Structure 1
Amino acid sequence: MSNTKFKLNAICMAMLVSSASVYAQQTPANADESDVEVINVTGIRSALSKSASIKQESSGVVDAISAEDIGKLPDTNLAESLQRISGVSIDRANNEGNKVTVRGFGPDFNLVTLNGRQMPNSCALQSAGVSRSFNFREIASESVSGVSVFKTGKANVASGGIGATIDISTAKPFDYDGFKAFASAKGVYDTSVETGSNITPEISGMISQTFADGKFGVLLSASHSERDSGRDRVGTSSGWVRNRANPDGVDASAINSTNNPTGAYWVPWTPEIERFDTERERQNAQLVLQFAPNDRIEATLDYTLSRFEETSYTNKQAFWFDNPTGVADENGTLVNISNVNDELNFWAWERYEKKENDSIGFNLKWQATEALNLSFDIHDSTSHSNPDGQTAETLANLKNPPGSVSLIAADFSGEIPSITVDDSGLPGGAYNPDNIVSDLYQLRGYEMKNNIKQYQFNGKWDNLEDGALAAINFGVMYTDYQVDTYLSERFSFVDIPLDDLGLTFSPLGNFADQFSGASNLFPFIPKYDASRFVDIVKDQGLFLAPDVTTNGVNEETTALYVSFDFRTEFNHYPIDLNVGVRYEDTDVSAYSVQPGIIALNYRHAEELRPFFDTTATAQELDGSYTRILPNLDFSMELTEDVKTRFSYSRTLARAGISAMFPATRIDARPEGPFNASQGNPNLLPITSDNFDISLEWYDNDGSYASVGYFKKFVENFIGAGVEQRAINDVNGNPLRDPSINPRPGCPDSSDTPNPDCLSQASDPIVMFDVSTPDNLQNREVDGWEFNAQYMFADTGFGAVANYTLVDSDEAFDPYDFDQTIALTGLSDSGNLVGFYENEKLQVRVAYNWRDEFLLALGTEPTFTEAYGQWDLSVNYEINETFTVYVDGLNLTDETVRRHGRFDQQLISAEQYGPRFSFGISGKW
């Protein structure tokens, strides 16, 4: 890592001295190049005009963002630029856009490509799961020249996105005539930082040159960025659980029996506060070589690299409701909860993620005849998380002696909970180190490798004669998609000395002060290192061997397509028509390698742990499917300025990777719940029949207005089918519960299990709730997109406004406890942008808003509440070479709040703070 960082820093610094970069609007490698009009001018107005031109001239529904100048997208983050497009919303992590939702379909329903190529993704954090979705935080916006969002399917565009296919374009040396260069250096000031540097550097550059009368070209781009940040969080762990408490301790008199006839009630596991301090480094680089020996042949060889490393240190103050009592509101939420004779918990976490992404590709274009153009494209791309096997998550917990705190309580009726702790029975109180003992440690995480090999052959025949048929497009694509994961987990309750841990406590100060009720939280938050806790565990000889599971999925897809372009007239109205079909055949194989389960071990009062055999066994499952994906795009020019269009397409999104692992996972506690899960590689893809109709007006100065309606009929939504059944041990016998009638000496947390604490033939059989993903239901989604972009003559002022309404035929019903499928990410959204520019100055103010949406649906749902954010950008051109700029994000310090089934069921309330960047750029 250090060697790579040194090389990239050297490249960037060299570029800052010698200059670097270039800009161009690209089209996807496998898209129709005639769809896009290239405009080589710069500035806010020209970029918006270029995006309007792409939308106007494309077949189907295509939106785009374009760089305003060499190396400058409208926002400092690629996802935050994409959110300005109607129908596109983003998810934020650590106050930064990282994944996108399009027309109500979340990140896993959209395909992201780089120059028309599908890119791999990997993740080290088990809590994040295994996703196909590209994370935009891993690519610097300075290296991107433009992005196209294909909202309707086309035969020649790779499948995988129901919401959209999003293609990121980067520059090539033949996009420019001779020498072009760009360099930028800026500082990022993050107001949330408490530990680390308030100001961190970002440098980037690009240099391009052609030689030998334009027959050979070289382009090199690179960037390096660092960011320190902080985050305050108030919330709960593991969400809210239905009917968990003893009903004798629940006051259910206020429950509305009309809405909630069963009298169901919900209790959280914990109330907690967390402080995150995060350090991140990111490097991007791309080398592109091009060779054109004559006017008919063009060859391109490119190598793209990204390195991403992030470490987050967390301390958490919490308590656990073991035996809660409380008062339920009309929905059944226990808003006032208490627990007598319990303890406080003092947590420390470390999260570490390192990603190495590499892609090498070759493209050959050949104009075989005047009418026939052929191209061949190949790439081999890999994403590798924690390649050295580093632990992704390390956590530790301390506690007061069990039952030593007289009362713990929380009132969830406000924006965040009001906490009550009665520790008067402890000499010196609950925060006295003499009253704190060790509890547990856990280490977990993936080493994951995702490799994609893709081969594409594309052709286009242009009709040089008269006639309605303008062109025939055809091609074949083969994709080999391979994911291998190595999941390692260690978990144990321990009793260790804490003298050398370095435990201290800090007052909260202005912690989460943007939320009402912040003064009623815990008085302190603990400070210690999880890794130091684990070191003490090792010194005491209590460090357990890991439980290891290896999983993998391989998908091989062969696709064939053909499409026809027609250009004609109807009653003197110009008509464009594209008709195409794509055929895909996919074979799936999945494997898991894990030790077999010998018995359940009653190891702790809160844990039934599987006791594994020493020999790992492999399990393999296969699946396959074929799909035919037709499309039809029709557009008519009603006048020179007004166009109407209709599109139909069938698109698909493939099942999530982790849903296909055959491995069986068990999560059991004494007296329940007894949960288990197993994957299903025979899942069918989710398919959607899409209909779009729109009316659009364009002016030659870049102004336009449009209104569009879309309807999607989606089949084979994947949900969790739950079956209650026994799970067999390695000998084929059902697992049994040793905690029901515990034998003397149990539970026993020693490294070598006490045989009396293992399942025995006299113990009752455990009936597990086994969750297996399956294709369960269909859905209908429709919506409206409204767009307006207006340039106020020659004043320099302009404005952009858009709004998207999205709806589904079956919304989430909070009182339907059997609902296993719901569309995550479905929400209305809107943007308002105002700008002014002249020859020297550019100013842009932008507001983005997204309504409440369902973030995740597990046993209980998680909703993200409505969120709006103001951003500002100011650029001043000193001369033709140098420009200075200032950007501000989240100017009004907006916060994020997530809740469960009802508003009072707080999951997470997060505060980040504004972020500013200031710098200088040069172009030559």
Structure 2
Amino acid sequence: MKQLGSLSPLYLALFASSLCIPNTSWAGRVEGSIKDVITQIPLEGAMISIEELNLKQESNRDGRFFFQEVPEGRYTLVAQYLGGQTYKQQIQVGEISLTQTEIELSGDGVEHIQVIGQRGALSKSLNRQRAADNLVSVLSADALGNFPDTNISEALQRVPGVSIERDQGEGRFVRVRGMAPDYNSVSMNGTRLPSPDSDRRAVALDVVPADLLQSVEVTKTLTPDMDADSLGGAIEVKSLSAFDRDERYINVSAEGSYDAMTESSNPKLAASFSDIYQDNFGVALAASWYDRDFGSDNVETGGKWSFDEPARLEEVEQRDYDINRERIGIGANFDFRPNDNNDLYLRTLYSSFVDSETRNSNEIKWDEATLADQLSAAEATRSLKSREEDQSIISLVFGGESRFDKWILNYQASWSRAQADKPMYIGKADFEAGFDEVGYQDSQVPKIIADDRFYSADEYQLAKIEIADSSTVDNMMSGKFDASKTMLLGERPLEVKFGAKYSSREKTNREDVWIYKDFDELGFTEQQLSMAAFAGNEPNYNLGRFGPSINADAVWDLVHRLDSDAAIDDIESQINDFDIDEDIAAAYVMGHIDIDNLRILAGVRFEYTDMYSKGTGFDASQDDFFATTYDRDYQHWLPGLHLNYKWGDKTVVRASWNNTIVRPTFGQLAPGYLIEQSDDELEAAFGNPDLKALESMNWDISVEHYMGGLGVVSVSGFYKDISHFIYEADLGGYGKYQDFDKADTFVNGDDANILGMELAYVQEFGFMPEGWRGLIFTTNLTLSDSTAEINWQDDGTQTRDIPLPSQSEVSANASFGYENAYVSFRFSAAYKSEYLLEVAELDDAAFDIYQDAHTQYDFVAKGFITEDLTVYFKAINLSDEPFYAYTGQNRYNAQYEEYGRTFQLGIQYINF
């Protein structure tokens, strides 16, 4: 009742506004669809207009369009589609009548519109981009197949202003305009996807195979009818629908891939099918399976440097990863059209992502920070982590559209569940030894200097085994409706729209930890505890000598002989458990009016957030646990204004002002805490449930010029004025944590701003002589500059400026392709500049950790054996680009990791 009471005045205002707008008498309806004349494939994003009335809209995903109320009379219906000829037809609209038309569009100077291959993908994307009221970039399913991308995130790196974050070399999280993944939202089929990660909102898009999709849309300027939880952009994933095509559709592919790092070969299978029955019931099915063995070689310091001149290193760790990753994706989508005025749909998704990881590591801690090439005493720990993680996402979305005489009503209800389980795994098995002479070479990619004793398993004794069992569940339920109505205000076409949405989210995290140590007190001998009894083969490690690995089976054999009840770690098993419930109620009203070639869209959105969290803290000074609960709510009014001016048929000018928010992540809000005394040092680590949501006022302006054939050149500028940005910091020694040596948490910064611009150029050369017509070139560049201020004293006397965390100043993409009736080639590159990862020391920029710039080159080649059968070859990460993060300056390692190259060979059957 608390939420409904807050929203009821807005509901009444929305309803009243719909009744008070003057309305010219309307008579009939005009409906139809637009298709390619040869393939009969529906054309989405075509510009449809009734010329004399200046009524405009774009065709939807199945090529249909609807003008609900049109005055009686004779008019010209116009259809425009990039790559096709302009279509005009005279129509007669009678009183209270239905005028139906089927438009078959032919190509501009060719037999038919290109709807498949590289040019087809480009055509679909550019048409939808041109027709949109706001700034949108689109990738169609055809575009996903033109690059060597295994999941959605890798496909999205080709979009202007988009770059990605990688995990073990694979694309995982998406960055928009250089901004961190948690600053962007992800939806599928109109509903938010939950996150299987315990601490994040950002959805790791590697759990959704690209084979299940119809298109992916990135919106950078949000309108009031969209959820407001985005700073960089909103990503909307649309899955297959049978009505995307008029005929039966079959797509089957089989692929083998080779990973150069592990020298392993891996299979992949995918299939999709759709058909329409009785002209009104559509079924679309898709499935994908990929089983991959791969790995990486890593060396990292974690920023453990002492910068007293000259710089000295305190700690370094070598890591070798062996991973098996299996993905299974299944989608079943159903569409039903009981009559001409109602469309119903059910969208389903099941995606499973099973990661089996073995990590061997060598950690060296010097007794005193040491110089490069200097040998000194150190403690060495050889460690094993071995776990299997099963991440899954299930999504059910039911909705529809009903077209009444005066109103169009869209409605949707959804349920989604994300889960991540890591059952009984080895979090750490540590074998320790001390050495008098250990050193390192190279501050960027440190290599260990040590004698043979360092690499002998006999030198190491088992010190500790940590076993863990964890599970995260993220449940989301939501319901929404949108109502819209078109009318004439004088002679100006006007549309009003309002709607509401309610969503409920429950995020839970559970973790149990067992720690086994003091083995000598349990009666084990030195020989039994020697690493020689647990040693395996030496890993294939490319960054120096590594030494023997640790056998996971031998560790489990020992653990199963021990008393688990005596080993349970009550503290670690409770402080990371939490329950967070988040309810969001939203409503909006908006409208747009067309004044000749100018469309003005304005409106306001209201969002009310109610959050409840509970967890457990432990204070070692009192040797006791304390329950923690937080209950808070807040609200935001978020107005927006968008201008869209069609400067002739080829140029679109857009400008917008809108307001958005980004709620803190679940890891930042986690209510648990730990206060402990360690070596006479008081230390604390905790989340911050009192964090404010980031707020941003966003200004955008863009100009797009569409050239002959399929081509566009665009430039856009953006400015974001941000309040309450969030960063991780150590507050130990400051403010109310004056007595703490370390106090790790998350805090709100003051103000930040981002100023940037995007440049894009896309061109297919169909206008060139015969031999050059198959060329396609695309490139884009995003430049941004951010400034943020942090402070660590309550009175604001201690401050410094930093870049906005996770903000890249430069991101760029380029691809060069060629396609004819027999072959298709595409070479692509993706670049993002360095960005701030972590503020390690509030008052010293020398310890800030940055991720270095990253450039990746990929290649894909296709051969068309028949009209339906294609063979393809893909090469990923051709230059073997590593991941590199540094501390303060580029020459001081924080993390370096190599992944190797991947090559794929496959065959695909598609019936057109």
Instruction: Sort the TM-score into its range (normalised by shorter chain).
Output: 0.7 to 0.9
Q: Any idea what SS the aligned residue of 1:704 has? A: strand
Name the CA distance, whole Å, in 2 between partners of 1:33 and 1:92: 39
Cα–Cα, structure 1 residues 726 and 869, in superposed 2: closer, same or farther, change >3 Å? closer
Residue matched to 2:116 = 42
Post-superposition offset of 1:169: 1.0
How far is 1:709 from its partner?
0.9
Task: Give the equivalent residue in structure 2 for 1:268.
Answer: 314
Distance in 1 separating the partners of 2:44 and 2:551: 48
Matched, 1:374 2:409: yes
- Structure 1 residue 489 corresponds to structure 2 residue 513: yes
Q: Distance in 2 between matches of 1:768 and 1:486?
A: 29
Residue 431 of structure 1 pairs with residue 455 of structure 2: yes
Aligned position for 1:902: 889
Q: Which residue of 2 aligns with 1:622?
A: 631
Per-residue deviation, residues 513-562 of structure 1 (Å, max 9, x unmatched): xxxxx5xx4x3332123453253144244761133222011111111011
Q: Note if 1:773 corresponds to 2:796.
A: no
Residue 103 of structure 2 corresponds to none
Partner residue, 1:13: none
One-letter amino acid of the counterpart of residue 591, structure 1: K
Secondary structure at the aligned position of 2:558 is classed as helix
Q: What per-residue deviation string (whole Å, max 9, x for no partner) do you get for residues 730-784 of structure 1?
A: xxxx9xxxxxxxxxxxxxxxxxxxxxxxxxxxxxx97454344333311010111
Amino acid aligned to 2:529:
L
Query: What is the CA–CA distance in structure 1 between the aligned matches of 2:205 and 2:742, rounded to whole Å?
Result: 36
Q: 1:539 maps to what in 2?
A: 561
Q: Partner of 2:123: helix, strand, or coil?
A: helix
Paired letter, 1:539: R
The match for 1:888 is 875
Aligned partner of 2:503 in structure 1 is 479
Which one-letter code corresponds to 1:354 in the other structure? D
Quick one: distance in 2 between partners of 1:622 and 1:63? 39
Structure 1: 5+ residue runs without aligned partners?
1-21, 124-128, 244-249, 255-264, 328-334, 424-428, 513-517, 601-610, 729-733, 735-764
Q: Secondary structure at the match of 1:47?
A: helix
Task: Note if 1:153 corresponds to 2:222.
Answer: yes
Q: State the partner residue of 2:100.
A: none
Q: Which residue of 1 aligns with 2:650?
A: 641
Q: Tell me, yes or no, if the aligned pair for 1:297 and 1:366 is still in contact at 8 Å.
A: yes
* One-letter amino acid of the structure 1 residue matched with residue 832 of structure 2: R
| Aligned partner of residue 79 in structure 1, secondary structure | helix
For 2:125 and 2:588, the matched residues in 1 are separated by 28
Is 1:219 the counterpart of 2:284? The answer is: yes
The answer to whether the 8 Å contact 1:899/1:907 transfers is: yes
Q: Does the 8 Å contact 1:325/1:338 carry over to 2?
A: no
SS across alignment from 2:817: strand
Which residue of structure 2 aligns with residue 684 of structure 1? 692
Distance 1:821 1:891, change over 3 A: closer
Query: Could you tell me which residue of structure 1 aligns to residue 838 of structure 2?
Result: 856
Find the residue that maps to 2:231 and give its secondary structure.
coil
Q: Which deviates the most, 617-626 or 580-589?
A: 617-626
Change (3 A) 1:368 1:882: same
| TM-fit CA distance, 1:901 | 1.9
Q: Take 1:582 and 1:886, find their aligned partners in 2: how far apart are those partners?
A: 47
Q: How is 1:547-562 mapped onto 2 (pairs within 5 angstroms)?
A: 547=570, 548-549=573-574, 550-562=577-589
Relative to structure 1, the CA distance from residue 36 to residue 56 in structure 2 (aligned partners, 3 Å threshold; closer, same or farther) is farther
- Tell me how far apart the structure 2 counterparts of residues 308 and 798 of structure 1 sit (CA, whole Å): 35
Aligned to 2:424, the other structure's residue is in SS state: coil
What displacement does 1:80 show?
Answer: 1.7
Q: Secondary structure at the match of 1:799?
A: strand
Shift in Å, 1:211: 1.5
Deviation of 1:74 after TM superposition, in Å, equals: 6.8
TM-score (norm 2): 0.81
Given residue 377 of structure 1, which amino acid in structure 2 is its aligned partner? Q
Structure 1 vs Structure 2 CA RMSD: 3.0
Q: What is the deviation of 1:827?
A: 2.8
Among residues 301, 304, 311, which one is paired with 2:346 in the alignment?
Answer: 301
Closer, same or farther in 2 for the Cα pair 1:712/1:266, shift >3 Å?
farther
Give the drift of 1:174: 2.5
The answer to whether the Cα contact below 8 Å between 1:281 and 1:308 also exists between their aligned partners in 2 is: yes
Q: Which deviations, in whole Å up to 9, do the C-alpha atoms of 1:490-516 show, x marking residues without a partner?
A: 33544352369654475676x43xxxx
Counterpart of 1:78?
152
Q: What is the alpha-carbon distance in structure 2 between the residues aligned to residue 301 and residue 533 of structure 1?
A: 48
2:455 match: secondary structure: coil
1:338 to 1:472, Cα distance in 2 relative to 1, 3 A:
farther
Match of 1:211, as an amino acid?
Y
Q: Is the 8 A contact 1:589 1:623 kept in 2?
A: yes
**Matching residue of 1:656:** 665
The C-alpha deviation readout for 1:800-853, integer Å capped at 9, x for no partner, is 11111110134999xx99779842132301111100001221110001111112
The range that moved more, 473-482 or 715-724, is 715-724
SS of equivalent to 1:346: strand
Distance 1:825 1:726 in 2: 27
- Contact 1:676/1:769 (<8 A) preserved: yes
Matched, 1:420 2:439: no
Q: Answer yes or no: is 1:580 the counterpart of 2:562.
A: no
Where does residue 842 of structure 1 map in the other structure?
824
Q: Does the 8 Å CA contact 1:826/1:853 hold for their aligned counterparts? A: yes
Q: Is 1:61 aligned to 2:135, yes or no? A: yes
Structure 2 gaps, min length 5: 1-39, 46-55, 64-80, 82-113, 792-797, 842-846
1:501-520 maps to which residues of 2 (within 5 A)?
Answer: 502-504=533-535, 511-512=541-542, 518=543
Per-residue CA deviation, residues 703-749 of structure 1 (Å, 9 max, x unaligned), is 01011111100111123565558999xxxxx9xxxxxxxxxxxxxxx
Where in structure 2 are the equivalents of 1:325-404 lying within 5 Å?
Answer: 325-327=369-371, 335=372, 338-340=375-377, 342-369=378-405, 371-386=406-421, 390-391=423-424, 394-400=427-433, 402=434
- Give the aligned residue type for 2:690: N
SS in structure 1 at match of 2:128: helix
Q: Is the 8 A contact 1:861 1:901 kept in 2?
A: yes
Aligned counterpart, 1:758: none
1:260 aligned residue: none
Per the TM alignment, residue 110 of structure 1 is displaced from its structure 2 partner at its CA by: 0.2
Post-superposition shift, 1:597? 4.3
SS at match of 1:823: coil
> 1-side partners of 2:830 and 2:908: how far apart?
27
Which has a greater percent of strand?
2
Change (3 A) 1:913 1:724: closer
Q: Is the 8 A contact 1:707 1:785 kept in 2?
A: yes
Q: Measure, in 2, the Cα distance between the counterparts of 1:120 and 1:392.
A: 25
SS, match of residue 557 in structure 2: helix
Q: Structure 2 CA distance, aligned partners of 1:357 and 1:215?
A: 30
Q: Does 1:564 align with 2:591?
A: yes
Distance in 1 between the 2:588 and 2:285 partners?
34
Equivalent position of 1:239 in the other structure:
303
The corresponding residue for 2:614 is: 591
**Alpha carbons 2:403, 2:409 under 8 Å: kept:** yes
**Offset of 1:82 from its aligned partner?**
0.9
1:710 aligns with 2:713: no
Match for residue 762 of structure 2?
789
Structure 2 match to 1:229: 294
